[in-house]
Amino acid sequence: MVTKYSLQHSVVKNYFITMNLERLEQQSNELKKQIVALGMSIPGSIQTVYLRCGKKNCRCHQDERLRHGPYYLWYRRINGKTATQSIAEEDVNLFRTWIDNRDKMEALVQKIVSLGADYAAVFKTTPGKSKNSTTPMRGK
C-alpha cells in the first residue's frame, strides 16, 4: 500500500539521487577541463650530471669538482626500459613543467575515477534502473 508519506519520501529520495548524480557529473566535467588546460605532459625526470671526458690528462680526472657540465638528461621508461635523452639547458624549465603537468594530470585522473565510483554507487540505487543496465556485458 502506497501512503502519502511513502510517496513523498520516494519523491524526495529521487530528487536527492538526481541532484547527487548531477553534482558528480559537474565535478567530473570540471576536472576534465582542468586536464585539458594543463597542456603538454610527459613522463620521466630530469637529472643534472657532471661527466669525465676521455682525455686522461684532463682536469676532470683529477678532481670531481672539475668535471664537465652541467649536462641535463631526461630519463623515462619505454617498454620497461630506461631511455635517456640529452636536453639543452634552455629547455630544462619547459621539460620540468611538462613533467609536473603529468603529475597533476595523474592526480586529476584519480579524482575522476573516484567520482566515477561514487557515481556508479548512486546510479545503482536510482529507482527505475534495472539491474541489467548497470551490469557490464561480458565478452564484448
In a domain, residue 114? The reply is no
Q: Which residue has the cell 621539460?
A: 95
All cell numbers assigned to 61: 680526472
In a domain, residue 52? The reply is yes
pLDDT tens-digit readout, 25-57 = 899 999 999 999 999 999 999 999 999 999 989
In a domain, residue 6? The reply is no
pLDDT (average), residues 65-82: 95
Q: State how far Cα 38 lies from the chain centre.
A: 11
| Phi, psi at 97, each rounded to 5° | -60, -45
In a domain, residue 71? The reply is yes
Q: Which residue has the cell 661527466?
A: 51
In a domain, residue 91? The reply is yes
Assess whether pLDDT exceeds 50 at residue 115. yes
CA separation for the pair 140, 70 (Å, rounded): 53
In a domain, residue 121? The reply is no
Q: 99 lies in which domain range?
A: 41-104
Give every CB contact of residue 126 below 8 A, 6+ residues apart in sequence.
Answer: 14, 17, 18, 21
CA separation for the pair 121, 24 (Å, rounded): 11
Higher pLDDT, 90 or 22: 90
Assess whether pLDDT exceeds 50 at residue 97. yes
In a domain, residue 32? The reply is no
CA separation for the pair 64, 54 (Å, rounded): 15
**Burial group, residue 54, by CB count within 10 angstroms (0-12, 13-18, 19+):** exposed
The total of structural domains in the chain comes to 1
Half-sphere exposure of 111 (CA within 13 A, CB side): 18
The pTM is what? 0.68
In a domain, residue 131? The reply is no
> What is the CA angle 13-14-20, rounded to 5?
90
